Amino acid sequence: MPDEIIVQGNPDIHNIALTFDDGPGRITPYILDVLRKYGVKATFFCLGCCIEKNIIVQEYTGKDLTGSEIVKRANDEGHLIAIHSYNHRALPGLTEEEILDNELSRTKNIITNLTGKAPVYFRPPYGSIDDRVNKISKVLGLKTVLWSCRSADSSTETAIVPDGSLRYKYGPVDIYKNIMETTGNGSIILCHDGHSGKRDANLGIVSALDKAIPELQKKGFNFVTIDELLAAGNYTIHKSI
């Protein structure tokens, strides 16, 4: 029986899921503020290395926050914490031991210790997965989730920031426009709150979401976490990799 990789929720229901990869990062607190402003819950596919390291939050709270504190806040505010990997390496190129012990199990343990809940959902770095990685993730009881919409917030092209209140780091594709044009029933929207654990994420995503979320809510969409999205059944899977 082929392994299942989830790419989209129920197309008959107005539920959509924002997902953030590569964090926690410096912009995660800004994203959490925007989500709180609109009462929206999202899913964070975290990197173990970013949870463990200290992150300096500038021009915001005035204090240094650790990755753990940021993820703890996200969890406490009702967001779903999921696994991206530990080091953001392309998993198909690693040995079985590296994938299981160094990347997935290690990150699962870090998140479990932090939140008191074992993470269930997993998104491989670069969306790069093969049968072997898929089998190993199943050993840990993980469900693989990719995406149906890209905000393109990690693009290296020139980006447009809708209200100009926050500067983008790199970009600019029109992140706001990408989200508005590609989101539909059951969408799993790919965004970033870090960048491969090395560079900062694109701050443009914060102002793009500040504009897109209320407009999508006005259109009748409900923002839900991945587990809520999948609870509605009839989700789309890719059966071949």
> Which part of the chain contacts Zn ion (CB under 5 A), choosing from 6-14, 111-119, 123-131, 207-215?
123-131
Among 21, 22, 153, 174, the one annotated catalytic? 21
Does 125 interact with Zn ion (rule: CB under 5 A)? yes
Does 193 interact with Zn ion (rule: CB under 5 A)? no
In the complex, least distance from residue 13 CB atom to Zn ion, rounded to whole angstroms: 27
**Do residues 18 and 45 lie in contact, with contact meaning Cβ atoms separated by under 8 Å?**
no
Cβ nearer to Zn ion, comparing 22 with 174: 22
Count other Cβ atoms within 10 Å, centred on residue 92.
16
CA distance 12 to 216: 16
Cβ nearer to Zn ion, comparing 25 with 125: 125
Long-range contacts formed by 66-70: CB under 8 A, 24+ apart:
67/23, 67/24, 68/114, 70/23, 70/24, 70/28, 70/29, 70/32
> Which part of the chain contacts Zn ion (CB under 5 A), choosing from 119-127, 135-143, 152-160, 210-218?
119-127
In the complex, least distance from residue 110 CB atom to Zn ion, rounded to whole angstroms: 17
CA distance 63 to 152: 30
Chosen residue from 15, 19, 22, 79 binding Zn ion by CB under 5 A: 22
Whether 21 is a known active-site residue: answer yes
Among 192, 193, 195, 210, the one annotated catalytic? 192
Does 21 interact with Zn ion (rule: CB under 5 A)? yes
- Of 12, 10, 5, 14, the C-alpha closest to 218 is 14
- Of 53, 54, 49, 46, the C-alpha closest to 74 is 46
DSSP code for 199: B
Chain residues in the site for Zn ion (CB under 5 A): 21-22, 125
Indicate which residues carry an active-site annotation.
21, 192
